[in-house]
Amino acid sequence: MLKSFSVAAYITLIGIGGVLLATVFARTLADGHSVPIRMPTFVVFFAVVAIMLAAGVYLWIGMLYFLLKIDRRSRLSKIIWLLALLFFNTWAAAVYFFTVYRGLATRAHRAIQANA
């Protein structure tokens, strides 16, 4: 599970970075019209956005499940993370993955391997 969430987290971060870069570097023509987009470009763009959206939803659901069912940290910490996940969705899920989930999942995996 760690590997699939890892891939989803990186795809989500790349998507967020791509959106931020596109917003910063977006241009319009001198007369105020936007740059025309051809159909193949739109199809590729739509496919990339669909993959990033699916990865973000997968990551969000997985981190929400982990927080509610498996995470054994303090109640206040869980409430704060729950509010963050509900209000900031995939952004908070990516942060939760890198700050909480990855460390706990790695330790649990090592403990299981040591007992086997």
Q: What pLDDT, on a 0 to 100 scale, did the predictor assign at position 81?
A: 95
Please report the sign of the dihedral spanned by the C-alpha atoms of residue 10, residue 49, residue 55, residue 60: positive
- What is the average per-residue pLDDT within 59-88? 93
Which residue range forms the structural domain that includes residue 91? 2-115
Give the pLDDT band of residue 80 (cuts 50, 70, 90): very high
Beta bridge partners of 28: 34
For the full predicted model, state whether its pTM sits above 0.85: no
Residue that wins the pLDDT comparison between 77 and 18 = 77
When divided into structural domains, the chain yields a total of 1
Residue 16, helix vs strand vs coil: helix
By CB atoms closer than 10 A (0-12, 13-18, 19+), residue 98 is middle
C-alpha closest to that of 63 among 43, 49, 84: 84
Report d(CA 2, CA 115) in Å as an integer: 19
For residue 103, pLDDT beyond 60: yes
- What is the average per-residue pLDDT within 78-106? 92
